Amino acid sequence: MLKVYLIFILFFFNGIMGQTEVVILSENVGTEIDNHENRFYRIFPNEKGLVDGQFVKIEENRYALHIVKKIDGKLTKVRRYFSQQEFDELKNYVDLQPIMTEKAKIAMYKGMNFLRAEKIIKEMPKPQHVSIKYMSEKKVSGTFFKTENNILFIQTPSAIERIDLNEVDMLSYRSKIGDFDNLKPYTTIMTSMAGLAMATLYNEQRPVTFNEYGYARKDIAIYRQIFGTILGLIFSGEVFDGLSTLLTARETIILSEDEYEKQNH
C-alpha cells in the first residue's frame, strides 16, 4: 500500500514540475499553429508534414516548440528550442504578415498541386506523352501508360522507366484531349488517300501479272488499291487521336513541395 502512495506522490509532483506556460506566437495564428497557417505565413518552411505546432515557455527567456508531424502516414512528435531573441524575431515576422482570410487561403492552395498529386495522376488521360522532372535533376520523356501503387510507368524509345510519384518534381502533360471532331472527316479522307497512294506505288514496283490469254491482270492492281484504301480507313481513328493529342496544349505542374518552394520563394 505504501508503494502505491509513493508512486502516486511521484506522479503528482512530476506533473507539477512538468507544467509549462503555453504562449501565443502571434494573434494571427493563436495558441496552435496548424498546417494551413504554417504554409501561409511560412513560419517553419523546413518542417515537412507539419500537422500543428505549439510554443511553451520552459524557463526564463527560453521556449520549446512542440510539433506534431505526419511522416509516412504516421504521426510523430518532435521538439525544437528557441531563445528569447529567436522567438521575438519570429513573432515580429508573423505579426507583420496579412491576416489569412478564406479567400487568401484558397488562392494559396490553388498552385499547390503536390497536395493532390495522386488524384491528378489517376485522372490523367492515358496513354499520353509526358515530360517529367524527378529527383531534383533527372528528366525523362515518353508515353505514360499506367500507374501502380504510385509508380509511374513511362515507355521511352529504349526502355520502360518506373518512377515513384513521391520523387516527381514537375510534370508536363495534357489534362484532357481537346475536341477536334470537325477534323475527323478530313483525317479520314487523308488516311484513305494515303493508303490508296501507297497501294498504287506498290503496284508500280511489282511486275505485271498476265492471265492465260496474255492479258494484264488489272484486277490484282485494283484489289491492292482497295485494300490500301481500307487500311487507311482502319488507321484513321488512330491518326485522328494522335492529331487531337498534338493539337491540345500541354500544361506543366509542380508535384513536390521542395520544387514549389524553389519556384515560388
Domain borders along the chain are: 2-110, 114-176+248-264, 181-247
Residue 140 has pLDDT above 90, yes or no: yes
Query: How do residues 90-139 score in pLDDT, each as one tens digit?
Result: 999 999 999 999 998 888 888 788 888 999 999 888 888 899 999 988 99
Cα–Cα nearest to 168, from 55, 258, 75, 262: 258
CB atoms within 10 A of CB 248: 17
Q: Tell me the C-alpha to C-alpha distance, in Å, between residue 77 and each of 56, 127, 240, 256.
A: 15, 42, 55, 23
Max Cα separation, the chain? 125
The cell for 163 is 518512377
Which pTM value belongs to this model? 0.58
Phi and psi angles of residue 136, each rounded to the nearest 5 degrees, phi first: 75, -35
CATH architecture of 114-176+248-264: Roll (2.30)
- Pairwise CA distance, residues 37 & 79, whole Å: 19
Say how far residue 141 (Cα) sits from the centre of its chain: 15
The residues pairing with 160 across neighbouring beta strands, listed in sequence order, are: 155
- Pairwise CA distance, residues 88 & 96, whole Å: 12
Mean pLDDT of 18-31: 83
Q: What is the dihedral of CA 40, 42, 45, 47, to 10 degrees?
A: -70
